[in-house]
Structure 1
Amino acid sequence: MSECNTRRPVSLLDVAKAAGVSRATASLVLRQSPLVADKTRLRVVEAMQSLGYIYNRGAANLRRNRTGTIGLVLNNIGSPFYSALMAGVDEVNEDGSVVTLVANSVDSPDRQIRQIRRLREHNVDGIILCPAIGSDETLAVELARLDLPCVQALRHVELLGGDYVGADYRSGIEKAVRHLVGSGHRRIVFVGAMALHSAARERNEGFRHATGLHGLEGGLVVAGGPDNVYDVAAFDRLLKTRNSPDAAVCYNDVIALNVMNRLRSLGRQPGRDFAVIGMDNLPQAAGAFPALTTIDTRPHEVGRKAAALLQKRIAQPGLANGEHIIVPPSLIVRQSCGETSAAA
């Protein structure tokens, strides 16, 4: 039998001896205790690395009755918007030595339930959930049955109750309309309106409130739907009316970029003949021509705050939930409004 098959695993006591500390001190380093001096911590870490010590996290988790994993259930894991959310979650989880298991509901309530059940089978300690379109009391019943700590993110289903972290979509739309009015625009259309989930409804409410506040015509709305589509024919008809719009606030950046392409195909130059504002501040927005003005909904920060809130619920299960954390947006002004770059 080869040496690699007979050699015993490196123990924490081996690490302690190599670092010249007690086993208790080495254990404190593993638990990231602030009671250990930096120089001592460094010696222990270096000893772990040189000896090839592997922490038996499974055994430690059994002692704590936790697995050190959480589930993240999204509806479109291929979107750069959700990638930013995932990065924020991962940052906080990395600091807490927590592993994230990602699942994709593809906006299907049935698949969402199946994914949550599978995550529970893997004994995740809790989940962050962006509810699928059409989520109803079935989801609420299932989460209650599984007794799983849950933080809703970006979208929320009222009947679920509990914790929620999201962007202030309404105030973001209001900022966009206020900026356009300040630049002299009075015929502003909202492109991509829908009422499929809370994030969409809040955008609609923001536009209605802002147009009323500034005395604008509130009926300039072009419907949208899932998969970043909007009613192109209705948009074209609006452009042919006597008092056609001269600016658009769009449901998101993808629709805004498509609107700019449509305007160019009709002989209108975005930023010069027609102002366009998107939402989400995707990487494509800054690289567009002209660069797209957008409402930054800060999904990375939403992810960080959602992960921190879930970790708090897992660590202190007796605390009453129902906390709502709303991340304020900012308006990133670029050339699609005919102006130089700025943030508001």
Structure 2
Amino acid sequence: MTLSDIAKFADVSRSTVSLVLRESPLVAEMTRVRVLEAIAELGYVYNRGAASMRSGRSQTVGLVVAEITNPFYAELTAGIERVLEEAGLLTFLANTNDSTERQSRFIQRMREQGADGIILSPAEGTDRKVIEELQRSRVPVVQILRQVAGTVTDYVGADYRLGTELATEHLIERGHTRIAFIGADRQTSASAERLTGFTSALRRHGLNPAHVMPCPSLRVEAAERVMALLAGPNRPTALLCHNDVIAHGALSALYRLDLEPGRDVAVIGFDNVAESAISRPPLTTIAVGTSHIGEVAAHRLLQRIAHPTATPERIILPPRLVIRAT
């Protein structure tokens, strides 16, 4: 079965069939439908591998994230896929669970498959040599959310430092002086920037943190650690959490201790995932425009693919405080 056979069956030119298979916008909708019906009738299967060899493009992109169980990453992925799909690219998603070994295997597989680019949220402990190797092999790469120290690539993320400063200032304005930071137990740029924003805001007011407690992004673990914290001496009156997952675990801990969130102990999350608006009570949090971050990163990768020698850009998106009930 050839393109000429399809063209003859659909009564169009061979070049029109080729444009339809490449999803070109230059083909009229009625003509497109007729060609697709002919393809279905004849049972033709488009050989994308051969097409990729001809064009030098695979029309695929690798997306590497660290914690797929966190709803934040689902919203981020949706934003990335929306832009790439409109551009005719297919996204392959990998969850590293912050394992550099898993990350390396996926990156190698994407290189073997000739991926047109990679959007990478680096796993904890990623060596700069991983990024430099991608650059040497001319694989377009955009780092997202986290950035490996010493690397120079396109980067898209939120202003995490400003976000925690906004949250801390809000708590201080509400009269809180014993504020605990329930942080992620990962050594990443995003974690460090959050903690810096928290401590900087406290210093401006002559305050010290009540506690800085590492915690994984798991509700059950967060609930258990917060319960232990609140059972100790000098109980904090406010909890500033690394993300909304940890914050929701903190809310569970308060209920188990018969404490009212927002009244007995204030809680602020980070990320503003969709669930936070309808939780009980609705969670005060820092919104970073999760889906928009993904869209911007996808657009940045498309620009990098089109202009591989352009100067890398660092795009930092502003956060905002969303005040709710906690």
TM over 0.5: yes
Q: TM-score, normalised by structure 2?
A: 0.85
**Cα deviation 1:73-100 (Å, max 9, x = unaligned):** 1222232221112111211121111111
Structure 2: unaligned runs, 5 residues or longer = none
Partners of 2:113 and 2:16 in 1: CA distance: 32
Equivalent residues of 1:187, 1:216 under 8 A apart: no
- Runs of 5+ unmatched residues, structure 1: 1-8, 337-344
How many Å apart are 1:327 and its aligned residue? 2.3
Deviation sequence 1:227-283 (CA, Å, 0-9, x none):
445654773266x42xx5432221111221222222233332112222211012234
Kindly tell me: are residues 269 and 29 of structure 1, through their superposed partners in 2, closer, same or farther at Cα, counting changes over 3 Å?
Answer: same
Over 3 Å counting, the alpha-carbon distance change for 1:179 and 1:18 in structure 2 is farther
Q: What amino acid maps onto 1:176 in structure 2? A: A
Distance 2:174 2:43 in 1: 63
Amino acid at match of 1:105: T
Question: Which of 219, 225, 229 is equivalent to 1:235?
Answer: 229
The reply to whether residue 109 of structure 1 matches residue 103 of structure 2 is no
Partner of 1:340: none
Q: What is the distance in 1 between the residues matched to 2:305 and 2:286?
A: 33
2:307 equivalent among 316, 337, 340: 316
Distance in 1 (alpha carbons) for counterparts of 2:209 and 2:262: 23
8 Å CA contact 1:186–1:216 kept in 2: the answer is no
Q: Which amino acid aligns with 1:197?
A: T
Q: Quote the offset at 1:65 in angstroms.
A: 0.8
CA distance in 1, matches of 2:296, 2:137: 24
> Aligned partners of 1:50 and 1:306: how far apart in 2?
40
How does 1:56-95 map onto structure 2 within 5 Å?
56-95=47-86
Q: Which residue type is aligned with residue 164 of structure 1?
A: Y
User: Which has the larger displacement, 135-144 or 311-320?
Assistant: 135-144
TM-score by length of 1: 0.81
In structure 2, how many angstroms separate the alpha carbons of the residues matched to 1:102 and 1:46? Answer: 31
Give the match for residue 123 of structure 1. Answer: 114
- Structure exhibiting the larger radius of gyration computed from Cα positions: 1
Structure 1 residues 145-156: aligned runs within 5 Å: 146-156=137-147
Per the TM alignment, residue 35 of structure 1 is displaced from its structure 2 partner at its CA by 4.8
Distance 1:178 1:217 in 2: 11
Query: Which AA in structure 2 matches 1:329?
Result: P
One-letter code aligned to 2:211: V
Q: How many residues are treated as equivalent by the alignment?
A: 322
Q: Aligned partners of 1:54, 1:329: CA distance in 2, in Å?
A: 47
Q: Counterpart in 2 of 1:255?
A: 246
Contact 2:217 2:246 in 1 (8 A): no
How has the CA–CA distance of structure 1 residues 27 and 195 changed in structure 2, closer, same or farther, with 3 Å as cutoff?
A: closer
* 1: CA distance, partners of 2:273 / 2:40: 39
> CA shift at 1:186, angstroms?
4.2
Match of 1:97 in 2: 88
Quote the residue 1:339 is aligned against: none
Report whether the alignment pairs 1:224 with 2:214.
Answer: yes
Q: Supply the distance in 1 between the matched residues of 2:23 and 2:105 (Cα, whole angstroms).
A: 36
Q: Give yes or no for contact 2:124–2:186 (8 Å, CA) kept in 1.
A: no
Residues in 1 aligned to 2:184 and 2:93: alpha-carbon distance in whole angstroms: 29
Alpha carbon RMSD of aligned pairs, Å?
A: 2.8
- CA shift in 2, pair 1:233/1:79, >3 Å: closer
What is aligned with 2:168?
177
